[in-house]
Amino acid sequence: MKAPTTTIKGRGAADNPGVRFEAFTREREILDPFLEEPSRPARTVITLQLAKSIISRNTSPDVPFSQSINPYQGCEHGCVYCYARPSHAYLGLSPGLDFETRIFGKQNAAALLRKELSHPGYQCELIALGANTDPYQPAERVHRITRGILEVLAEFRHPVGIVTKSSLVERDMDILMAMARDRLVHVFVSVTSLDPILSGKLEPRAVAPYRRIETIKRLADAGIPCGVLMAPVIPFINDSDVEPVLEVAAEAGASMAGYVILRLPHEVKTLFRDWLARHYPMRADRVMARIHDLRDGRDNDPAFVSRMKGTGEFAALIRRRFELACARLQLDRGERFKLDTSLFRVAEQPRQLGLF
């Protein structure tokens, strides 16, 4: 008998769906479901690895950067909607609980970055830090991989854009303030709702919404260009929060804003449907019906441009609401996006002691 899917405290997923690349699937078998302890927390395991390269490159026309760095694979924040979850399948792990409990850190990230930036043919372009998984997830408190990356970027005077939903970014304000003075950094803080109960369901191990707004204020007060990212917008779940989130963020000092409509690639669609059944069973059908309206009748639309904003009347309504709110709140100051690439310099390589 398959165990009933039950919410696990502190986790977004409630099970480990099969990996799409494997011929066999795993199911948890129990003799008596009443003897199970589904609320028992799943333990997080951090594994440090030596990466072969550190800068990822893309040519996607709907992504505002061509270079990115992800210090970690997997993310303990456990956001059920995370479009990066399917990447865990390439490791032979499930995009479900494995994604938020089996975290891999690239311990040689700073050294690799130094080497790649020092290559004679390197062309300086903005590097996005945390494009897939959060660079300031809990593992960063101990391993400081993101901190090491920022130290190298600052030394090379290389522009960087950061996206996070963690207040741990405040730890690195000494580096960020210095970079901001030379227009080398901006930070986007992801806020999907001001409702702590909803946020706790969507993003169980991320900091509370009010704390993220406080982070925006502290960054802005320190002179670090800061924006708010509402990603994803989910119909009938958090779409009513668009204006409130933008208003509070603007009051805190944000000067930029962005949004993305919910994406459900590969296994994420199964995980999200399960999440809806557990937390919002009475509106699950309405949510999925509206998602199908946004995605031309499908769960997911992988096409460039439309995958980010959706299509149809509801997508147009969200876009118009967002534009009007940004104009009213002056969250459309695009000059803050223009980071300076002209200051880039190849830093002196650390010298090693010779052999005696």
* Predicted confidence band of residue 229 (pLDDT cuts 50, 70, 90): very high
Q: Could you give the 3-state DSSP secondary structure of residue 99?
A: helix
Q: What pLDDT, on a 0 to 100 scale, did the predictor assign at position 336?
A: 56
Residue 235, φ and ψ in degrees, nearest 5: -60, 135
| Contact by Cβ (8 Å): 243, 193 | no
For the chain, the structural domain boundaries read 48-68+109-337
Largest CA distance in the chain: 75
What is the rounded average pLDDT of the residues 304-311?
94
Alpha-carbon span 42 to 219, nearest angstrom? 33
Find the helix or strand (DSSP H, E) in which 164 lies: strand 160-164
Alpha-carbon span 143 to 153, nearest angstrom? 18
Q: What is the pLDDT of residues 132-150, one digit of tens each?
A: 999 999 999 999 999 999 9
User: Partners of 257 in the beta sheet?
Assistant: 228
| Contact by Cβ (8 Å): 249, 257 | yes
What is the rounded average pLDDT of the residues 309-316?
96
User: Partners of 161 in the beta sheet?
Assistant: 128, 186
Q: What pLDDT, on a 0 to 100 scale, did the predictor assign at position 27?
A: 52
- Which structure tokens are listed for 57? 């490159």
Question: Of the CATH numbers 3.80.30.30, 3.30.70.1560, 3.90.650.10, 3.40.50.1100, which one belongs to the domain with range 48-68+109-337?
Answer: 3.80.30.30
Alpha-carbon span 124 to 136, nearest angstrom? 24
Q: What share of the chain is helix, strand, coil (3-state, %, to 5)?
A: 40, 15, 50
* Predicted confidence band of residue 39 (pLDDT cuts 50, 70, 90): very low
Between these two residues, 350 and 120, which has the higher pLDDT value? 120
